[in-house]
Structure 1
Amino acid sequence: MTSQSVSLTVADPNDLSAFKKELQEAFALAVVEEYGELQNGPIPSDEDLDKSINAPGAVALRILRDGKKVGGAVVTINQETLQNTLDLFFLKVGEHGHGLGYEAWRAIEARYPQTVTWQTHTPYFEKRNIHFYVNKCGFKIIAFHHTRHPDPHHPGSDDTIGDEGFLFEKVMR
């Protein structure tokens, strides 16, 4: 756990270019470790990121530690059903292992206290993410998506790495 203050702020539109670059750098670490060199550009692609950030109900959040940008998240908030999604979540390269991710997740939960359920997903090979969501944050795995059981909510992704993975859910009440 960190003794430093973790907070959230809505990402400034002028900061979105840096936000996307930092997210892609963070995601690249695990992809390169698993598959070697990135073959087809950054993951997720700029187009996929723009779709997520600009989707109806989406909110891009900056994760701050003592006022310094250390990561970010994109959440989609459904004001009618209160069934929300954590679409993207990252800590900048070099910021892992200090308890910031858990504190940031708690800050997201606190920011949206009316949430009934949260859903998120992660690639199958991301053991660190699976551990984080299940063992730290209290999510349950509710599906495994792959070519024979595709994710109906994320069709047409530009990256094949995201095609196989786990869907998680956390019931809040």
Structure 2
Amino acid sequence: MTTDSVSLAVAEADDLPALKRELQDAFAVAVIAEFGDLPDGPIPSDSELDESMSAPGAEVLRILCDGRKIGGAVVAIDRETHRNSLDLFFLSSPDRGRGLGLKAWKAIERRYPETRVWITHTPYFEKRNIHFYVNKCGFRIVAFFSDRHPDPHGPAPSGLPDDGEAFMFEKIMGEAEGT
């Protein structure tokens, strides 16, 4: 019987190629479900993933369930402002819908207790993500980016057929969730 104990581990350098492929596969499921097909090349691209994983303050984490690799996350930690970013977060398809994502998010929160604010983004069409971040994790939508209001921090992952429309979420730690 599985206990569904979720934990985090820093991803090892030799695990990064596999983690990137798994992340791209997980993202492909949502893109195919919404648009019927994948555009040319993986989403996010290898270069976008490399940039995120090597950004200042970036930490690449493996999500484990009972010791088994089930996903990953890339966070950017600002040790001065404590305004941190969840840049990438995924679970493998077979592990979705079992409450493991919320357990993984709670493990990330525990790992960085000094965080004052968490920021993350998701494409507008990702209803599962929007539900997860708002209704399960306690984030609030604070911006909608589109061609009329572009993200000032840079473009969304390239290759999506949605013109980069995305929501930005914020979670102020210490606030009651669901309010």
Instruction: Bin the TM-score by the shorter chain.
Output: over 0.9
5+ unaligned residues in a row in structure 1: which ranges? Answer: none
> Where does 1:80-99 land on structure 2 (aligned, <5 Å)?
80-99=80-99
The 1-side partners of 2:121 and 2:163 are apart by 9
For normalisation by structure 2, the TM-score amounts to: 0.92
Deviations 1:112-145 (A, max 9, x none): 0000000000000000000000000000000000
> Where does 1:26-41 land on structure 2 (aligned, <5 Å)?
26-41=26-41
Superposition RMSD in Å = 1.3
The 2-side partners of 1:51 and 1:163 are apart by 18
Does residue 163 (structure 1) correspond to residue 154 (structure 2)? The answer is no
5+ unaligned residues in a row in structure 2: which ranges? Answer: 175-179
Offset at 1:159? Answer: 2.8
- Aligned-pair identity (%): 62
Deviations 1:44-92 (A, max 9, x none): 0001000000101000000000111000000000011000000000001
**Taking structure 1 as reference, are residues 162 and 104 closer, same or farther at Cα in structure 2, changes over 3 Å only?**
farther
**Taking structure 1 as reference, are residues 123 and 157 closer, same or farther at Cα in structure 2, changes over 3 Å only?**
closer
Offset at 1:155? Answer: 2.9
Kept in 2, the 8 Å contact 1:76–1:87? The answer is: yes
Structure 1 residue ranges (4+ consecutive) displaced by more than 2 angstroms after TM superposition:
154-162
**Taking structure 1 as reference, are residues 3 and 92 closer, same or farther at Cα in structure 2, changes over 3 Å only?**
same
> Where does 1:7-156 land on structure 2 (aligned, <5 Å)?
7-155=7-155
The 2-side partners of 1:156 and 1:125 are apart by 13
1:70 aligned counterpart, secondary structure: strand
Offset at 1:163? Answer: 1.3
The 2-side partners of 1:103 and 1:46 are apart by 28
Kept in 2, the 8 Å contact 1:122–1:162? The answer is: no
Offset at 1:156? Answer: 7.0
**Taking structure 1 as reference, are residues 170 and 28 closer, same or farther at Cα in structure 2, changes over 3 Å only?**
same
**Taking structure 1 as reference, are residues 122 and 162 closer, same or farther at Cα in structure 2, changes over 3 Å only?**
farther
Offset at 1:157? Answer: 4.2
Kept in 1, the 8 Å contact 2:156–2:164? The answer is: no
The 1-side partners of 2:163 and 2:63 are apart by 23
Offset at 1:162? Answer: 7.0
What is the number of residues matched between the two proteins? 172
Letter of the 1:37 counterpart = D
Kept in 2, the 8 Å contact 1:123–1:162? The answer is: no
**Taking structure 1 as reference, are residues 16 and 62 closer, same or farther at Cα in structure 2, changes over 3 Å only?**
same
Q: Report the equivalent of 2:173.
A: 172
